[in-house]
Structure 1
Amino acid sequence: MTVFEELTRRGYIKQLTHPEEIKNLLEKDKVVFYIGFDPTADSLHVGHFIALMFMAHMQRAGHVPIALLGAATAMIGDPSGKTDMRSMMTRETIDNNAECMKKQMERLIDFSEGRAIMDNNANWLFDLNYIDFLRDVGVHFSVNNMLRADSIRLRLERGLSFLEFNYMLMQSYDFLVLHQKYNCIMQLGGDDQWSNMLGGMDLIRRKEGKDAFAMTCTLLTNSEGQKMGKTVNGALWLDKNKTSGHDFYQYWRNVDDADVIKCLKLLTFYPIEEIERMEREWTGQQLNEAKRILAFEVTSLIHGKEEAQAVEKAAQALFGSGSDLSAVPQIPVSAADIGRTLLDILTEHGVFPSKSEGRRNIEQGGVTLNDEKISDVNRTLNETDLTEGDAMVRKGKKKFYRMVRTEG
């Protein structure tokens, strides 16, 4: 099976510029392609994950990916899909974010022995002379055409800064530079990047007289068309210091029945033939097993097989017939915590993102301590709560934490 067929069957491809040419290229040639990642946070999130999987499937088929870190474009901010302008970040923050993202990418992409390239557009954009850039690049862009691009048109009513208006030119220039440096002929990315991709292709044609290509991948949405990857605490991060392995696993374990097959196709390397068989034949309780497979496979890819086994073991202990609770997220409590409110302790350890959120959970009956539903926001932790030094806290229906007594 060709990679084009694999990507099609898994549902990755949303739009592409030259269907037959791209199909033939991917079957017959070794293609250098790129995906850009603006380091606007110190971790990738699930929205980036699907792009990395897109990249990984291409690499496994023998093509050469370029992971382009956009330290320079992150200082401008991409208006695509945004209703407001991004907050401005310092160069130091952006550089730190880029380094964190690089480490996460290496879990899915093999950068050894030239099998993949990592570059940073700060290497060419930071030193540009503005007048030269306008004369060399800006002259090839029609403002009328730019205003018709969705990424810009949808922002005009709310207001679009001239700073952001430059983003399309800069991303297009990235494609040109990568074409010149590495013979990169294809850009991949989310469907919200379509207009920017076309700008880069056109710039290569005008400047180099050569063809370039683009493919977009579908955005990760649920059966109702809403973006997936949002949690009570915000984004579903790939850094387990931001989203624990337990919470990450449980997110996928609890996806809707209507979304599990789609997620298996897009976010795992599970054989497509097996997934299609599940799609045809599995219903009811069998879909629950599909969710377990999904949660384990995705957690293994992002946090490693050992972590996936540990959190799965914890989940089985809580919801199945197991009894080993060692992998359930722990909250250390000491003698100094006796008499403190549960609200303070749980917020301090990240169970709630804020006291107001915690107060709302407690008042609505969403918190249980050792099978006792807590409704009083002033409820304190008592010695009697710590049976044999432990107490079990449940938030909502399926999030569990162990309070563990420590010395001190």
Structure 2
Amino acid sequence: MNALLDDLRWRGLIAHSTDPDALAAHLDAGSVKFYIGFDPTARSVHTGNLVQALLARRLQEAGHQPFMLVGGATGLIGDPKESGERVMNSADVVAEWVERIRAQVGRYVSFEGANAATMVNNYDWTSTMSVLDFLRDVGKHFPVNRMLARDVVARRLEAGISYTEFSYVLLQSMDFRELYRRHGVTMQTGGSDQWGNITAGVELIRRSDQGKAHAMATPLLTKADGTKFGKTESGTVWLDPDLTSPYAFHQFFLNAEDAKVIDYLKVFSFRTREEIEELEKATIEAPFRREAQRALADDVTDIVHGVDERRGAVAAAAALFGRGELGELDAPTLERVLREVGGRKVEPGLGVVEAMVEAGLVESKGAARRAISEGGAYLNNDKVTDPELQLNPELLLHGRFAVLRRGRKTVGGVYL
């Protein structure tokens, strides 16, 4: 049994693979060159893509060589979605997103050493290929009946699917073959929703080059209710700190369900089996302590944003809910945190009652006055006793920010 595959199975990271015995033998034979693809369909990758990036790190740490492919060509087309045709982005936008995503995914692997990672862009070999060459050299190897049988295509046929999206599988398969020919890449990994595309590449290498390639896919992560992991009421959890702040990112993982937190730890953390099993025991015996959630949130935020940002996120959460000093948070952190909790920009001279309404802590001025009279209103963690209090600059953090709280857990704010 291959120790790497054994660990990946324990972590729940293998949903599908080509012949397991052949794959194990291939990984045992020496350093394997493998690739993972990321299409620039947005300006940032998200938590789902993070699963793949961290898998690349695990494989590299086991001695294998990653090729991180950012799809400058496939990003212009778009993999078929069940919901309907994708909106095509302009070439300039896709090119910009390629550079952003190259920088993002490159952080999770090493570009030094004997098995140094390589960054590639499929636009480099696709853009110079003629339509005739593509049809003769690639399309010839794809039976249409098998393409029609693909799940997403079959589901889209009634409503309609463009030839552009229908042919996406050919482009991704060509990527695998191109990396096989140019660099000796013999394995591809990806999400289970890509399994059809991945195995089509394996088959193209066999048909056109009589070569042997391997593949592996991770399961799609879900929440306890079966809904997609990485989605919140406010949208996708991105890795770009400008789209999802380190504070919001840490909070997302901190709020993981007890039923799923150990599954997430296995996927996103590099803790040992023994450490994770200890956290699983703690979750069963004392779930209120949320030890596993804190470990998960800290580990993932350290990996994605760095230790300093994680410490800032933890300090911000503590200060926000009255367990730390708000004055110790710098202005950029305060502004990001207030935006995350629904803080609103206001004009100078606002009263605390009006500010509580603006921040969404209460529905009316009357409710704000009642909260103050009952001792449940706070401004920058100080209890508010005067309903006529004005938010003058000297009362605001950094002269701009007012963190407002009703009771222990309802937090909001305003800023100038």
What TM bracket, shorter-length normalisation?
A: 0.7 to 0.9
Paired position in structure 2 for 1:309: 311
**Offset from partner CA, 1:289-342 (integer Å, 9 cap, x none):** 111111111111111011101111222334574335534633599994435986
Change in Cα spacing, 1:18 to 1:231, as seen in structure 2 (3 Å) is same
CA distance in 2, matches of 1:67, 1:396: 48
Structure 2, unmatched stretches of 5+, are: 379-386
Paired position in structure 2 for 1:198: 199
1:329 corresponds to which of 322, 326, 334: 334
| 1:190/1:217 contact within 8 Å kept | yes
Paired position in structure 1 for 2:104: 104
| 1:339/1:382 contact within 8 Å kept | no
Paired position in structure 2 for 1:76: 77
**Aligned-residue offset at 1:280:** 4.1
CA distance in 1, matches of 2:38, 2:9: 23
Paired position in structure 2 for 1:352: none
Structure 1, unmatched stretches of 5+, are: 347-357, 374-380
Paired position in structure 2 for 1:29: 30
**Offset from partner CA, 1:191-223 (integer Å, 9 cap, x none):** 001111111111100111111111000112112
**Aligned-residue offset at 1:382:** 8.5
**Offset from partner CA, 1:70-90 (integer Å, 9 cap, x none):** 1111111101x4311111111
Paired position in structure 1 for 2:403: 392
Counterpart check, 1:338 vs 2:343: no
One-letter amino acid of the counterpart of residue 290, structure 1: A
| 2:70/2:120 contact within 8 Å kept | yes
CA distance in 1, matches of 2:410, 2:83: 33
Paired position in structure 2 for 1:189: 190
| 1:329/1:401 contact within 8 Å kept | no
| 2:46/2:239 contact within 8 Å kept | yes
| 1:329/1:400 contact within 8 Å kept | no
One-letter amino acid of the counterpart of residue 396, structure 2: G
Change in Cα spacing, 1:158 to 1:23, as seen in structure 2 (3 Å) is same
Q: Please give the secondary structure, in 2, of the residue aligned with 1:273.
A: helix
The percentage of aligned residue pairs carrying the same residue is 37
CA distance in 2, matches of 1:400, 1:3: 45
**Aligned-residue offset at 1:394:** 5.5
Paired position in structure 2 for 1:227: 228
| 2:282/2:292 contact within 8 Å kept | no
CA distance in 2, matches of 1:266, 1:298: 10
Greater C-alpha radius of gyration: 2
Q: CA RMSD in A?
A: 3.2
Paired position in structure 2 for 1:298: 300
One-letter amino acid of the counterpart of residue 288, structure 1: R
Q: Please give the secondary structure, in 1, of the residue aligned with 2:15.
A: strand
Q: Please give the secondary structure, in 2, of the residue aligned with 1:68.
A: strand
CA distance in 2, matches of 1:291, 1:329: 24
CA distance in 2, matches of 1:399, 1:69: 42
Paired position in structure 1 for 2:148: 147
Change in Cα spacing, 1:334 to 1:282, as seen in structure 2 (3 Å) is closer
CA distance in 2, matches of 1:156, 1:23: 38
| 1:38/1:73 contact within 8 Å kept | yes
Change in Cα spacing, 1:39 to 1:400, as seen in structure 2 (3 Å) is farther
**Aligned-residue offset at 1:344:** 11
Q: Please give the secondary structure, in 1, of the residue aligned with 2:296.
A: helix
| 1:45/1:236 contact within 8 Å kept | yes
Q: Compute the TM-score of the two structures, normalised by the length of structure 1.
A: 0.85
| 1:45/1:238 contact within 8 Å kept | yes
